[in-house]
Amino acid sequence: MNRQAIDALLNKINDSATSEGNPRTKEIVNRIVRDLFYTIEELDVQPDEFWTALNYLGDAGKSGELGLLAAGLGFEHFLDLRLDEAEAKAGIEGGTPRTIEGPLYVTGAPVSDGHARLDDGTDPGQTLVMRGRVVGEDGKPLANALVEVWHANHLGNYSYFDKSQPAFNLRRSIRTDASGNYSFRSVVPVGYSVPPQGQTQLLLDQLGRHGHRPAHIHFFVSAPGFRKLTTQINIDGDPYLWDDFAFATRDGLVPAVKQAEGAQGKPYGVEGNFALIDFDFTLFKERDNLPGAEVERLRAEA
């Protein structure tokens, strides 16, 4: 079929509407359908290929892997870059880079003031202390900002989704003190991969790509009147640091991991040697002329 014939079919489909419907939904869906029709024609997609793809998406939905696919195909990173571009046009540049949320956040983590311990003492690995401040774009500290933090265990699994872990293991929310300080104690995370027999890896194999993620720690950082920051830091030295299947590693999000000991650990209840990361978060004031930084999406609730 040529473009003229395809467009005639599309017009017939669009004209079949019996009510006004939602203009924004119509605009987006009609555009997606049009582009897929063109793709099917230009690449000579066969019926069995089409239905294989549709069934694949159904299986990915059943297994809960659509969020992984969104990250692995670059959609989440692309959305971040579009927000960066919108902020740059509004004069917002610098500060802490945003990066992907991923699909494994869980609402309702316990809230601590100033400092929190994320692990329960049973997770193997080197003890980690991470500390820093939350500041505004003027460099002034933000008291009572909320730092939500979560990361995987030594097997690359996240509590709630991994029922063998205690509730909210390696997940906490921390309110900054009057000087904008936060800190937490945990264990140094390790890198991990998507489920090897899952739908995401199935597609990555077809694309000739791996499904590995470098070791990382996720954050939401928020304060009233400021744009919410979604980000993560990566652990320096990981072999996949700059080869993340989810494209989440960014300049400015790979802090130094220092080795500390003795009295340095006393304020955090740590004895002996431990890893230490110092990292400050910068939040920008909310602007009326920008898309929201608070993303509405379905998230797990414990």
As a whole number, mean pLDDT of residues 64-81 equals 98
How far apart are the C-alpha atoms of 2 and 31, rounded to whole Å? 17
Structural domains in the chain, CATH included, are 95-301 (2.60.130.10)
User: Residue 89 burial by CB count (10 A; 0-12/13-18/19+): exposed, middle or buried?
Assistant: exposed
Over residues 120-135, the mean pLDDT reads: 96
Within 109-243, where are the H helices?
A: 199-207
Q: What is the pLDDT of residue 242?
A: 98
Rounded to the nearest integer, the mean pLDDT of the chain is 96
Active site residue 158: yes
Q: Is the pLDDT of residue 18 over 90?
A: no
Which one is catalytic: 105, 158, 182, 268?
A: 158
Q: Is residue 19 over pLDDT 90?
A: no
Task: Look at residue 20 in the predicted model and tell me its pLDDT.
Answer: 87
Gyration radius of the chain over CA positions: 22
**pLDDT tier at 77, thresholds 50, 70, 90:** very high
Residue labelled with tokens 């939350």: 134
pLDDT at position 17 = 85
Handedness of CA 244, 71, 218, 91 (dihedral sign): positive
pLDDT of 133 strictly over 90: yes
Give percent of the chain above pLDDT 90: 97
d(CA 13, CA 7) in angstroms, rounded, equals 10
Mean pLDDT to the nearest integer, 229-244: 98
Tens digit of each residue's pLDDT (9 = 90 or more) over 26-53 = 999 999 999 999 999 999 999 999 999 9
- Among 105, 160, 192, 268, the active-site one is 192
Average pLDDT over residues 182-188: 98
For the entire predicted model, the pTM comes to 0.95
- pLDDT for 83 equals 97
218 is annotated as an active-site residue: yes
| Residue of 133, 212, 213, 250 with catalytic role | 213
Q: Which of 171, 212, 218, 250 is catalytic?
A: 218
Q: Is the torsion defined by CA of 83, 86, 89, 91 positive or negative? A: negative
Mean pLDDT of 153-179: 97
